Amino acid sequence: KNQVEQSPQSLIILEGKNCTLQCNYTVSPFSNLRWYKQDTGRGPVSLTIMTFSENTKSNGRYTATLDADTKQSSLHITASQLSDSASYICVVRGGSNDYKLSFGAGTTVTVRA
């Protein structure tokens, strides 16, 4: 069964601090992994996408890493801002039905002043 597990479930950080979110997956075969940011009641917005051959990808203050051997990914947020408060979802494309995305449950990040 294709699974995507994220940790921690939630975290609270002070504005200006860094944090790292984790994602482990069992999806096989693997096509790509994407991190999305989702504000409450809004649709997911893509932050980064990585394929099998990519180890790291940055988008501003967001840096994602991928270890395809261990099937692990991380999302690092640098110098957090209040607007970073959201749910961050790890989504893996692949498996026997390539069109179907496997979603993690998300990590809820709260940034406090």
Partner 1 sequence: DTEVTQTPKHLVMGMTNKKSLKCEQHMGHRAMYWYKQKAKKPPELMFVYSYEKLSINESVPSRFSPECPNSSLLNLHLHALQPEDSALYLCASSRNLAGGPQETQYFGPGTRLLVL
Q: Is there a contact between 80 and 16 (Cβ–Cβ < 8 Å)?
A: yes
CA proximity to 50, closest of 25, 37, 67: 67
CB of 101 to partner 1, least distance (A): 7
CA proximity to 73, closest of 84, 62, 82: 62
Amino acid at 7: S
Residue with Cβ nearer partner 1 (45 or 79):
45
Residue with Cβ nearer partner 1 (14 or 105):
105
DSSP 32: E
Residue with Cβ nearer partner 1 (43 or 70):
43
CB of 45 to partner 1, least distance (A): 7
Binding site for partner 1 (CB under 8 A): 31-32, 34, 36, 41-46, 49, 51-52, 89, 93, 98-101, 103-106
